[in-house]
C-alpha cells in the first residue's frame, strides 16, 4: 500500500541545515495498523506530514499503490491528498464557526464540482448521507449540530475521525490522536480506530507515545536519529 524509499527531509533555518529525516525506508501493507514511536523532536510529525502529502521531502520517494506521489504537480497532489488520505491531528483542528456535521462534510464539499482527474466527485446528497452514517457509527449522532466548542474532547476527536473518513480513504494517518485526551477517553478513541481497521480494512499509521496503545497495533516502529531502529 505505502512504500517509502530513502526518504530525507531537511529544514533550512537561519542557523543552517537541520537534517530531520535521514533515510527512512518503510513498507506498509494494505489493512495494516502501524504505530510510530520515538522521542520528541525526532521527526515523527515531519514523516507523517510527508506521508500525508502535506509537505514534500528533500529527497527520496513515497509510493502509494505503486504510484510515485511526489512526481505529481501541486494541484494533483492536493487532489490525491483529499481523496486518498484521511488525517487526524493531536488537536482536532475542527473549524469553530461550523457545526460538527458541517466540519465532517467539508472534505466532500471541497471536492464538489471539481474536475481534477482522480477525484471521486460526490453529490451533496451523497455527502450528507455519508456524514449521517458516520455520526451514527461513531456514536456522536446526538451531537451533530453542536459546534466544536460545545463538544467534549473525546467527541471532538470522534468528529475529527469522521471528517477523516468522509471520502472513504484507504489510509488514515493519525498524529497523537489520543495525546490530548484523558486515559479512558484516549482508550475509547483508540478502540474506535482498531474497529475501523478491522471492519473496514482501513490502513492506519499512528504516531503515539502511549505504549499500552501502540502494542495493540500490528507493528511498532521506533524512530531514532532520523531513521527507524
Ligand X SMILES: Nc1ncnc2c1ncn2[C@@H]1O[C@H](COP(=O)(O)OP(=O)(O)OP(=O)(O)O)[C@@H](O)[C@H]1O
Stretch that binds ligand X, among 22-30, 43-51, 69-77, 98-106 (CB under 6 A): 43-51
* Residue 45 found at the interface with ligand X (CB under 6 A): yes
Q: How many CB atoms lie within 10 A of CB 60?
A: 17
Q: Quick one: which of 40, 28, 44 has its CA closest to 218?
A: 28
* Residue 103 found at the interface with Mg ion (CB under 5 A): no
Tell me which of 21, 45, 157, 202 binds Mg ion, using CB under 5 A.
45
Nearer to ligand X, 83 or 210 (CB): 210
Nearer to Mg ion, 98 or 228 (CB): 228
Residue 44: strand, helix, or coil: helix
Tell me which of 28, 33, 34, 44 binds ligand X, using CB under 6 A.
44
DSSP-derived letter for residue 39 is -
Cell matching residue 218 = 500490528
Q: How many helices (H) and strands (E) does the chain have?
A: 7, 10
* Residue 41 found at the interface with ligand X (CB under 6 A): yes
Tell me which of 4, 20, 127, 171 binds ligand X, using CB under 6 A.
20
CA 109 to chain centre: 19
* Residue 11 found at the interface with ligand X (CB under 6 A): yes
Stretch that binds ligand X, among 36-44, 74-82, 164-172, 194-202 (CB under 6 A): 36-44
Nearer to ligand X, 127 or 223 (CB): 223
**Alpha carbons 141 and 38: distance in angstroms, whole number:** 36
Nearer to ligand X, 11 or 91 (CB): 11
Determine how β-strand 203-207 pairs with β-strand 16-28: unpaired
Tell me which of 42, 131, 151, 205 binds ligand X, using CB under 6 A.
42
- E-strand ranges in the chain read 2-13, 16-28, 33-38, 59-64, 67-68, 85-88, 171-175, 203-207, 219-224, 227-228
Residues 143-182 touching ligand X, rule: CB under 6 A, are none
Which positions touch Mg ion (CB under 5 A)?
Answer: 45
By the criterion CB under 6 A, which residues form the site for ligand X?
11, 13, 18, 20, 38, 40-46
Amino acid at each position: 500500500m505505502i512504500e517509502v524509499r530513502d526518504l530525507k527531509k531537511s529544514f533550512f533555518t537561519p542557523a543552517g541545515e537541520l537534517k530531520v529525516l535521514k533515510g527512512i525506508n518503510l513498507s506498509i501493507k494494505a489493512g495494516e495498523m502501524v504505530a510510530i514511536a520515538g522521542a520528541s523532536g525526532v521527526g515523527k510529525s515531519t514523516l507523517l506530514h510527508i506521508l500525508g502529502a502535506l509537505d514534500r521531502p528533500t529527497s527520496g520517494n513515497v509510493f502509494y499503490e505503486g504510484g510515485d506521489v511526489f512526481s505529481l504537480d501541486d494541484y494533483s497532489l492536493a487532489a490525491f491528498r483529499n481523496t486518498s488520505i484521511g488525517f487526524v491531528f493531536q488537536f482536532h483542528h475542527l473549524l469553530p464557526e461550523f457545526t460538527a456535521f458541517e466540519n465532517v462534510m467539508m472534505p466532500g464539499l471541497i471536492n464538489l464540482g471539481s474536475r481534477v482527474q482522480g477525484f471521486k466527485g460526490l453529490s451533496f446528497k451523497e455527502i450528507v448521507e455519508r456524514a449521517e452514517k458516520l455520526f451514527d457509527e461513531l456514536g456522536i449522532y446526538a451531537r451533530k449540530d453542536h459546534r466544536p466548542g460545545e463538544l467534549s474532547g473525546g467527541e471532538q476527536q470522534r468528529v475529527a475521525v469522521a471528517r477523516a473518513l468522509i471520502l472513504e480513504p484507504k489510509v488514515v494517518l493519525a498524529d497523537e490522536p489520543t495525546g490530548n485526551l484523558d486515559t479512558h477517553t484516549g482508550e475509547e478513541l483508540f478502540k474506535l480506530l482498531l474497529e475501523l481497521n478491522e471492519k473496514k480494512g482501513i490502513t492506519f499509521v499512528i504516531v503515539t507515545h502511549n505504549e499500552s496503545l501502540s502494542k495493540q497495533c500490528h507493528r511498532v516502529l521506533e524512530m531514532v536519529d532520523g531513521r527507524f531502529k
